[in-house]
A and B are shown apart, each in its own frame.
Chain A
Amino acid sequence: MKQILLGNEAVARGAYEAGVKFVSSYPGTPSTEITETIAKYKEIACEWAPNEKVGAEAAIGCSVRGGRAMTCMKHVGMNVCADPLFTVSYSGVNAGLVFCVADDPGMHSSQNEQDSRHYARSSKIPMFEPADSSECKEFTKYAYEFSEKYDTPVMIRLHTRVSHSRSLVDLEEPKPIEIKEYIKDSKKYVMMPANAIGKHVVVEKRTAQIVADADANPESVFNKIEMRDTKLGIITAGASYQYVRDAVPTASVLKLGLVWPLAENTIKEFASKVDRLVVVEELDPFLETEIKAMGVECEGKALFTLLGEYSTRMVKAALTEEALPKAAIDVTKLPTPPGRPPVLCAGCPHKGLFLALHRLNANVTGDIGCYTLGALPPMQAVDTVICMGASVGMAHGFDKATDGEASRNTVGVIGDSTFLHSGITNLMNAVYNGSTMTLIILDNSITGMTGHQQNPATGMNIRLEAAPAVSLELLCQSVGVMPEAIRVVDPVDTFGCQQVIKEEMAREAVSVVIARRPCALIPTGRAKKGVEVHVDLEKCKKCGACGKIMCPALIMSKDKTPMIDPETCNNCGLCVNVCKFNALEKGEE
């Protein structure tokens, strides 16, 4: 039976059909839907881990004990789980083990554009790269056989256009879940020097064997040779293959499904059959560099950019003299469309906190999540964003740079999920090393930006069953923050927040302000239908203060009279709190 599946859904289907026992991941766009789809297969044990390293280690444990396992992440999550990755390459697996990593060329939803193929090469783990949903399923299924055959973890590299495109997939019957026997084997699983020295030899042999087998069977599941006109030959993989096929349909193509290690003889033979060889790959010249190192002449980044996503048009422009498609509408004759930037949602309670920070003119080390949007006008209340957890470490660094002085006007800002992901170790460090920094935890009781995933503080697991909830207050206390320096505030009470933050920045010890209100988009954070803020036009002085909160539900007319859009208003009351003339009134719940 055929079905239209998202690339990510197809990966999940592949895992299901391969008899996978366990999946543990941390959400991250564009990888999230793999694990969310897995959660729908009741046979598979499935969970959100607090971070990618934890997810990977749990999956490794399952594999070693005999169950097929998977962990999924976005490209930057791979950095977090790099530690186990490099060593599980040495120990190998018992049951099949797959790491799915989704890159984001063009940075639709990411802070950098790193190319995760480098991880495959440096960790010496084979990597598959599918080009559509059908291959997502096939490659995932095959990855488990491959993993067990070669005693290696396998990486599956996805990217936005594959993860988030739907196409046809043939569904097959799932293989029953089997748990293999576990045999104690310290030489294999205890990676101390004496054993690892021997294992490194095994790893190098394994890579050579994979290359030899791929060359012996060049038309394998993943590498495809399509001979057409031999004037131009192209080596490519993933979404770039699709652009190549549309742009230069007559060219011969070697499509690599195995992007590490490379089938050297297959590549050399293909190269020998074509007059001109071009490598088309988004991001880094990974294949190009390797192919050149084989002594094969080719062109690549001399024709194509290192930046962003590619397109059919780009490939056509680089490789042909053909005219490019022309638009039917002369856009220079059209009015300029107003921008529609992403915003903190209507009723987002945490806006109130950013308004407080804006008024305090504080320096703010920020973090990864919806609240990164606090950096945009008019709040402009975030100074730095690097990676998950960095807000806490950087606030501590500000403290150390100035012997504590900076902490009188600096706060770190982090979400609940991000805090549990990698903020807590930084907080422990700050207390241990005598910092005087202040941390604000925006507790919206969910992992917001990636689309509402549960985390260890929400009281629910991935299948929305009740689960033990971490107490953020007790967790902070347990690493040594003084109980009186842990303050809980309601972010909608923007002026109250301002006062508490001021007091805590003044404190010459580590302090934590927990701003607690559920995300306005989850059921517990939502107002009843038909309940919204009302405007009293007689009291309104048209001062415009309510407009400055940038609420999508508050429509400002030209004379600065506010109007409330009842469809979007969540009755959070932030606008009520900033109005000095009591012209706004919360709806009765």
Chain B
Amino acid sequence: MGNLEASIVLAGVGGQGTLIAGKLLGIVAMKLGLDVKVSEVHGMSQRGGSVITYVKIGKEVHSPIIEEGTADFLLSFEEVESVRWASLLKEGGVMIVNSQQIESLPVLMGQVQYPDGIVDALKAAATEGTKIVEIDALDLAMQVGTSKATNIVMLGALSNYLGVDEALWKEAIEDAFAAKAKTIPGNLKAFELGKQAGA
């Protein structure tokens, strides 16, 4: 049994693969022999809206929800979503931001502007010891041939901080994509690229 204890927030926009990333983290926890809870949103909140998945891993996990100032890790799959959920990160936590920008309807309509310099603002507003890591996960995913691998790139980046054996990650990826075996080599590569970029 591992001794990992982590609260991980996966924030993004519907369709970015946060749910699959959450499931994969669940498999990792199970392989470590640990308790795990993964909480999702469905229904109306999903329709083009911002989506959030909570993953809690530990010896015994109670509440499935990650609340203000309690996330060890916040993986933001989209820039502005990192701002929306920033308050969840705890002091000394790590935020990994995908520099991809997805304009929401109010922006497309010209009602509001998509803010500039988000990552710099995050760094300036964070307490000492809190780490903000920026990666271009979409670009790295495209290097393996599909934007769909963005979520695995993000997990690769996270793997630098989680202290889980790399072989175990690989097994988890193989398990998670067993039904689509053709995608396994690409996802393993995506994981590796994310790992290098997020170090």
Q: Which of A159-167, A194-202, A289-297 contacts B (4 or more CB under 8 A)?
A: A159-167
Q: B178 in the interface, Cβ–Cβ < 8 Å?
A: no
Q: Which residue of A lies closest to B92 (CB)?
A: A328
A136 → chain B closest CB, angstroms? 13
A205 within 8 A of B: no
Contact of B89 among A329, A340, A560 (CB under 8 A): A329
Judge whether B112 and A108 touch: CB under 8 Å. no
Asked if B27 and A4 sit within 8 Å, CB to CB, the answer is: yes
Residue numbers of A with Cβ under 8 A of B are 2, 4, 6, 29-30, 32-33, 108-109, 132, 161, 164-168, 239, 241-243, 245-246, 311-313, 324-331, 333-345, 370, 373, 378, 449-451, 547, 550, 552, 554-556, 558, 560
- The answer to whether A343 and B61 touch (CB under 8 A), given A168-B30, A328-B127, is no
Q: Which of B88-119 contact A (CB under 8 A)?
A: 88-93, 95, 103-110, 112-118
Sample of 8 more A-B contacts, CB < 8 Å, known A167-B61, A334-B83, A340-B105: A241-B62, A324-B68, A327-B90, A329-B122, A334-B125, A337-B83, A340-B104, A370-B47
A161 touches B108 (CB 8 A): no
- Determine whether B160 belongs to the interface, using a CB cutoff of 8 Å to chain A: no
Contact between A109 and B43, CB atoms less than 8 A apart: yes
Within 8 A of A (CB), among B52-103: 61-65, 67-70, 80-81, 83-84, 86-93, 95, 103
Q: Cβ of B16 < 8 Å from any Cβ of A?
A: no
| 9 A-B pairs (CB sep. < 8 Å) | A4-B38, A166-B36, A168-B30, A241-B62, A325-B69, A329-B130, A335-B118, A342-B46, A555-B103
Distance A556 CA – B24 CA, assembled complex (angstroms): 37
Q: Given A166-B23, A329-B130, are A132 and B125 also a contact pair (CB < 8 Å)?
A: no
Q: Which residues of A contact B38 (CB under 8 A)?
A: 4, 165-167
B104 touches A345 (CB 8 A): no
A246 contact set on B, CB distance < 8 A? 62-63
The 9 closest A-B pairs by CB, nearest first: A109-B43, A325-B69, A29-B43, A335-B115, A342-B47, A333-B125, A165-B64, A166-B38, A340-B104
Q: Provide the bound-state CA to CA distance between A2 and B45, in Å.
A: 30
Which of B3-54 touch A at CB < 8 Å?
A: 13, 22-23, 26-27, 30, 35-50
User: How many residues of B sit at the interface, in one of the four size bands?
Assistant: 35 or more
Interface assignment of B126: CB less than 8 Å from any CB of chain A: yes
Per the bound structure, the CA–CA distance linking A431 and B70 in Å amounts to 58
A167 to B25, CA, bound (A): 12
Assembled-state Cα–Cα distance A334/B95 (Å): 15
Q: CB-CB < 8 A to A242: which residues of B?
A: 62-64
| Contact across chains for A342 and B115 when beta carbons are under 8 A apart | no
Nearest residue in B to A332 (C-beta to C-beta)? B125
With A327-B89, A328-B89 as known contacts, state yes or no: A338 contacts B107, CB within 8 Å.
Answer: yes
The answer on a CB contact under 8 Å between A326 and B45 is: no
Q: Which A residues touch B92, using CB under 8 A?
A: 328
Chain A nearest CB, measured from B110 CB (Å)? 6
Q: Are B43 and A326 in contact (CB under 8 A)?
A: no
List of B residues within 8 angstroms of A324 by Cβ:
68-69
Chain B residues with CB below 8 A from A325, complex form = 67-70, 90
B41 touching A108 by the CB < 8 A rule? yes
A202 to B95, CA, bound (A): 60
Confirm or deny: B179 has a beta carbon within 8 angstroms of a beta carbon on chain A.
no
